[in-house]
Amino acid sequence: MMAARRGSVAGGSGGSPSRASTAGGSGGSPSRASTAGGSGGSPSRASTVAALQTALAAEQAASYGYGVVGAHLTGTAFSIASADCVLHERARDALTRLITSLGATPRAAAAAYKLPIGVSSAADAARLAVDLEVEVVASYVDLAAVPDPRLRTLAAKNMQNAYVRAARWGAKSRPFPGLAP
């Protein structure tokens, strides 16, 4: 899952993109749901909202990260990165609507994210795209376990699509993507 780390965007040291500290706030982990009215709701609802928040955080980080990816690409690769960024923005917006429909407040995106690798070439950009997509896959694992079959289906489809994009960027195939090896 997306581990929260304070820091700058440039030159990470492995791991996933994480929320950078922002003025007046912390980079907090997206593991707890915050509700609009402050009421806790049922454990099932709370775990559903928490799973949605986790996926939302990964989609926000991917949207940010693809801006860095695209900045180091040209031609067809740039077009693919741009299209992938739009897909993550759409997923982000859909998750925001789902969280709101459950009466919870979607967590805002960070102003900046610490990326898992420094990017200074097209090859680095492709590696970052793989990292972003693999992190998105992992972020949907908890959502695949919620009681609502529509949300489980959404999670499965988004995991599949993200891993297909990761493979296109050069990810090596592995069993059960999204789960720790």
Instruction: Report pLDDT for 41.
Output: 64
Does 27 score more than 60 pLDDT?
A: no
Domain range 18-168, CATH architecture? Up-down Bundle (1.20)
Instruction: Report pLDDT for 177.
Output: 64
The average pLDDT across 151-171 equals 97
* β strands within 57-176, DSSP E: 113-114
Instruction: Report pLDDT for 38.
Output: 37
The average pLDDT across 35-41 equals 43
Distance, CA of 56 to CA of 77 (rounded, Å): 25
Of 57, 49, 137, nearest to 92 by C-alpha is 57
Provide the 3-class DSSP secondary structure of residue 40: coil
The average pLDDT across 63-82 equals 98
Percent of the chain beyond pLDDT 90? Answer: 71
Distance, CA of 154 to CA of 24 (rounded, Å): 34
pLDDT higher at 107 or 15: 107
H/E stretch holding 19 = strand 18-19
Please report, as a single letter, which amino acid is at residue 175: P
Instruction: Report pLDDT for 19.
Output: 45
- In tens, the pLDDT along 127-147 reads 999 999 999 999 999 999 999
The average pLDDT across 36-49 equals 70
pLDDT higher at 18 or 1: 18
pLDDT higher at 100 or 42: 100
Question: Residue 84 has which token pair?
Answer: 């992938």
In contact, 102 and 45? CB cutoff 8 Å:
yes
Provide the 3-class DSSP secondary structure of residue 35: strand
pLDDT category of residue 175 using cuts at 50, 70 and 90: confident
In this prediction the pTM is: 0.78
